[in-house]
Amino acid sequence: MDSVVGVTGTIGGVQLEKLAGQFGSVERLAASDDDHVQAWEAVFRAKPEVMHAILADYIKHRYAVPGVVGQRPMPREADVDSEELLRGPDVNMRPLVDVLPELMAVGKTRFARQVCMTPNQFNLLLAGRYSPTLPELRLIAEAVDRNPAFFIEYRRQLVMTALEHLFTIQPNIATSLYRKFVQTHPGSG
């Protein structure tokens, strides 16, 4: 591999230029691909086994037993809860209107003030007639001492925001998806 321009100095007596040449940069992998491809995506395309190794290590870490010394063993497949691995331990699948009243430590009016909402707006939210914005969901999560991703509405909005961004930078994807939808759902277009 060629060395990275501008890398100088040493680490543990080894020239950084030599290290950079021997262990290529992830950014260089992405640079050889399309400009829009992220570095990690280029790595996974070039070496799919990297994703396998990362996932295996993640699973081992999640099922590690505290206080046990030595290499973490891979748990049996039957013992792995894939839903929990994907969602994380502190994720809620119930709608905000169902779970929020259980989490509130104060009354509705005071809670509404805490999350910068009017009492009327907050009542509409609890009635399911108002969808909070991402910033409002972050305030709600902070007020109930949860990660915003705890709420399914927050996760949905993040996905929709990411899709909108993707469709903006790559409109051909949106066109392709629409074309496939029209083909599979005649009369919908």
Domain ranges of the chain: 10-46, 48-87, 90-189
CA distance linking residue 175 with residue 161, whole number of Å? 17
Split at pLDDT 50, 70, 90, the class of 29 is low
pLDDT digits 0-9 by tens, 37-85 = 566 676 777 777 877 788 788 788 777 777 777 787 888 888 887 767 6
Residue percentage of the chain with pLDDT more than 70: 74
Q: What is the pTM of this model?
A: 0.53
At residue 63, the pLDDT reads 78
CA distance linking residue 53 with residue 43, whole number of Å? 12
CATH architecture of 90-189: Orthogonal Bundle (1.10)
Average pLDDT along the chain: 80
At residue 1, the pLDDT reads 39
